[in-house]
């Protein structure tokens, strides 16, 4: 098994005037290819801060972070953007779909941004939408879909670029329990197909859907 990512002694502080807040404390975290891991933590424990670092949206103050064989902490902002774009599919609590576009157009978007031709983008988007079970909804707009369906579209969009890692921030946070369970089941299926997934959540029931659970406690990661 190869490492998908490895964080070593990662620290992050926020500075507000005289005050400094030590949010991530010597985080060691390794995720192997093909794992499905939950990061469980209470509000304010540093989950989003950690996710921003894992997702190459922010840099730590110290420590090393290797993602898919590349040392992230040595990357320039431009290199970071490329890495983020190529390696990671993001899923958010509130879907972040573009309301004026159809399901198909939303899922095609990341491919068009990469410069793929329309026909190829459409074919790949079609496949991805089929994978999440929404082939009947290609021409719907987000406001014509249920919350669970919108999250499926967001997952199709995250998958369409075939990222090495799916990174989900409270992916079921806006859904009722039954719909949330369906989304978690989809993650489990995708994981069985080989996709590496990290989800962050404050909800133990949600966290347990993963095959491994780590706890973030006031900036300290407890890996059993």
Question: What is the contact surface with ligand ATP in residues (CB under 6 A)?
Answer: 14, 16, 21, 23, 41, 43-49, 202
User: β-strand 212-217 against 3-16: which pairing, if any?
Assistant: unpaired
Write the CB contacts of 132 (distance below 8 Å, at least 6 apart in sequence). 152, 153, 155, 156, 159, 186
End-to-end, the C-alpha distance of the chain in Å comes to 19
Q: How far is the CB of 11 from Mg ion (least distance, A)?
A: 18
14's contact among ligand ATP, Mg ion, none, with CB below 5 to 8 A by partner kind, is ligand ATP
Q: How far is the CB of 224 from ligand ATP (least distance, A)?
A: 20
117's contact among Mg ion, ligand ATP, none, with CB below 5 to 8 A by partner kind, is none
21's contact among Mg ion, ligand ATP, none, with CB below 5 to 8 A by partner kind, is ligand ATP
Q: Order of strands, edge to edge, in the sheet holding 165-169?
A: 88-91, 165-169, 196-201, 36-41, 212-217, 220-222
Helices (H) and strands (E) in the chain, counts: 7, 10
Residue 48 in the binding site for Mg ion (CB under 5 A): yes
Using the contact rule CB under 5 A, the part of the chain among 46-54, 116-124, 126-134, 141-149 near Mg ion is: 46-54
Q: Which is nearer to Mg ion, 140 or 202 (CB)?
A: 202
Q: How far is the CB of 70 from ligand ATP (least distance, A)?
A: 24
Nearest to 129 by CA among 113, 106, 100: 106
Q: How far is the CB of 48 from Mg ion (least distance, A)?
A: 3
Q: How far is the CB of 46 from Mg ion (least distance, A)?
A: 8
Q: Which is nearer to Mg ion, 48 or 106 (CB)?
A: 48
Q: Which is nearer to Mg ion, 43 or 76 (CB)?
A: 43
202's contact among ligand ATP, Mg ion, none, with CB below 5 to 8 A by partner kind, is ligand ATP
165's contact among Mg ion, ligand ATP, none, with CB below 5 to 8 A by partner kind, is none
Q: How far is the CB of 140 from Mg ion (least distance, A)?
A: 30
On whether the CB atoms of residues 1 and 34 are closer than 8 A, the answer is yes
Half-sphere exposure of residue 46: CA atoms within 13 angstroms, side-chain side: 24
Q: What is the DSSP string of 76-106?
A: -HHHHHHHHHHHEEEE-TT----TTS-HHHH
């Amino acid at each position: 098994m190869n490492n998908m990512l490895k964080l070593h002694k990662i620290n992050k502080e926020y500075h507000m005037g005289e005050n400094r807040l030590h949010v991530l404390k010597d985080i060691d975290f390794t995720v192997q290819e093909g794992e499905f891991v939950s990061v469980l933590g209470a509000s304010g424990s540093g989950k989003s801060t950690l996710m921003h670092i894992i997702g190459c949206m922010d840099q730590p103050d110290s420590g090393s972070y290797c993602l898919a064989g590349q040392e992230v902490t040595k990357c320039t902002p431009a290199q970071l953007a490329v890495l983020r774009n190529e390696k990671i599919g993001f899923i958010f609590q509130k879907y972040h779909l573009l309301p004026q576009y159809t399901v198909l157009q939303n899922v095609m978007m990341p491919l068009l941004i990469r410069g793929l031709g329309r026909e190829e983008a459409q074919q790949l988007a079609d496949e991805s939408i089929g994978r999440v079970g929404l082939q009947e909804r290609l021409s719907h707009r987000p406001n014509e879909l249920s919350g669970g369906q919108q999250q499926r579209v967001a997952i199709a969009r995250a998958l369409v670029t075939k990222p090495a890692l799916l990174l989900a921030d409270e992916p079921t946070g806006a859904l009722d329990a039954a719909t949330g369970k369906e989304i978690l089941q989809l993650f489990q299926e995708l994981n069985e197909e080989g996709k590496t997934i990290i989800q962050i959540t404050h909800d133990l029931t949600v966290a347990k859907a993963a095959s491994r659970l780590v706890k973030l406690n006031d900036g300290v990661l407890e890996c059993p």
